[in-house]
Chain A
Amino acid sequence: MSVILTCHSLCLGYENREVLHGLDLRLEEGQCLSVLGENGAGKSTLLHALLGLKKPSRGSVEYGAGLSRRQIGYLPQQSAAQKDFPALAGEVVRSGLLSSCGARAWYTRGERRRALEAMELLGVREMNRRSFRELSGGQQRRVLLARALCATQKLLLLDEPGAGLDPVASQDLAQAIRALHRTQGISIVMVSHDIATALREADLVLHLVNAHERFLGTPDAYRASETGARFLGNRN
């Protein structure tokens, strides 16, 4: 198996505040990494750095396995503007294809089919012509996940996929993500507050405590660690 994502002593910060210092990380193809931590611990900042949206102040992020920065599927946190945006679910999903379009101004038939296949995979195929804003929260996330899937064949970055969903919808979504991971062999980096799901699914856990203090290891090692015990103890 080849390495799909590597961070070399990665440092991230805003103006004079350091958020992350000297992170070394290797993700193999097909692995799932769960990123945990309190609010403000730098989880989303790390995700932005992995996407190339945030420049590291030191260190680097590298992709392997023939992956370019444009071939990453990203599920951002939901923005308020999308609540009343006039768009069909299909239009939203297809916008994930843009990264592979180059200068072409339209989608080919093959690309449209690919968008439908992504929707099929996430169980939202029949919502293709439905209005995005009229879907339930869980359906909207699936549509956005299908969009992310259009942009990638190898690596998904998910920023709190279950946030704001009711428990049932959240579990459904976790199942859909698990299926992508297991049956499609897609590597996943997931920021999550749903710690039970995160630990069940992950091959690797990264818990950010602050810029310098963190835990990186397998879920079992995490449960046994001091950081994990403290965090899990808080939750249960």
Chain B
Amino acid sequence: MFHQLQNYLQYDFMRYALIVGPLVTICSALLGVTLVLRRYSMIGDGLSHVGFGALGVAAALHWAPLPVAVPAVIAAAFLLLRSRHKKMQGDAAIALFSATCLALGVLAITISGGSNVDLMNYMFGSILALSKSDVWIAAGLFALVLPGFAWLYHRIFSVTFDEPFARATGLRTGLYQLLTALFTSLTIVLGMRLLGTLLISSLLTFPAMISMRLFKSFRAVVLSAAVTSVVCFVAGFLISLFWKQNLPTGATIVAVYALAFGAFSLAGWVRGRSRKNC
């Protein structure tokens, strides 16, 4: 198997997948912690549907996909984050909006003569079809998100834990929300190439949820989310390659996440019990 892996690594597409994957999963894990804690988990799902619609329309019009999808998703991110503050039912609005975008994307792809393969790629990702430009974009995103997160770490904690208090101490909470929306949008558009429209939100929510089962401090949750996201991604990716009949990568990765969630829940439960006994 090791020999086989060495063989695989001679191919560009394999190396690209193993570079882009961890970079994007770390970004999404970090952003995911604040999104999950602020009850924005479903936003990832909503935004990916918007991205799908934008990619579909771009393909139908023979435009470059990213210049269309990125602004569309960023705009949607602002709309969705804003809608939470109004009296309109936020979650219902997201559901309607994202379903409409998904439908629009499917129609655009089909009308423009796209095949079912194209459709499947957008839905479930095409991790082995990454290009060199994807690597550069992922590296750029990572170079912004990781130092930014480290620099603003205490402020992000304060804003996430208690927004009114953070505002009262003079933090510009609107700015943090804007940055979160911006980077989440970029991460989602990139992540859609990896896991596809339907599974990308798992990249945002799973690492945070897994880590929260076991760890009690914010710092431990953040670090654990970053580490588990990479471990689960690489594990899922390799399993999908080396299984007897090649498994779909995105689904395998999500299955590994689900297993990790179970394992961490169990560990958290055992830890809680042993504390009570002593």
* Residues of chain A at the chain B interface (Cβ within 8 Å): 51-53, 69-70, 72, 74, 76, 79, 81-82, 84-88, 91-92, 94-96, 98-99, 101, 105-107, 131, 133-134, 147-148, 151, 157
Contacts and interface: CB of A to CB of B under 8 A. Distances in A.
Nearest to A94: B154
A69 B154 contact: no
B136 interface: no
Nearest to A131: B216
Contacts of A52: 168
Which of B155, B158, B162, B212 has the most chain A CB atoms inside 10 A of its CB?
B162
A70 to B, nearest CB: 4
A82 to B, nearest CB: 7
B161 interface: yes
Nearest to A51: B168
Taking residues whose C-beta sits less than 8 angstroms from the other chain, chain B's interface range is: 20 to 34
Contacts of B162: 76, 79, 82, 95
Contact of B154 (A85, A106, A134): A106
A96 B170 CA distance: 11
Which of B154, B158, B165, B219 has the most chain A CB atoms inside 10 A of its CB?
B165
Contacts of A85: 37, 160-161, 218
Nearest to B147: A105
A91 B168 contact: no
Contact of A98 (B155, B160, B219): B155
A106 B219 CA distance: 13
- Does more than half of chain B's interface fall in helix, strand or loop, or is it mixed? helix
A104 to B, nearest CB: 9
Given A81-B37, A131-B216, A76 B221 contact: no
B168 A72 contact: yes
B157 A76 contact: no
Contacts of A157: 168
Contacts of B37: 81, 85-86
Contacts of B63: none
A91 B164 contact: no
Contact of B215 (A74, A76, A86, A96): A86
Given A94-B154, A95-B161, A74 B218 contact: no
Given A74-B165, A98-B154, 8 more contacts: A51-B167, A53-B164, A76-B164, A82-B161, A86-B218, A95-B165, A99-B170, A131-B216
Contacts of A88: 216-218
B221 A70 contact: no
B171 interface: yes
A131 B217 CA distance: 7
Which of B38, B161, B212, B219 has the most chain A CB atoms inside 10 A of its CB?
B161
20 contacts: A51-B167, A51-B168, A53-B168, A69-B170, A76-B162, A76-B164, A76-B168, A79-B162, A79-B164, A81-B39, A82-B161, A82-B162, A85-B161, A85-B218, A86-B211, A86-B217, A87-B216, A88-B217, A95-B166, A99-B169
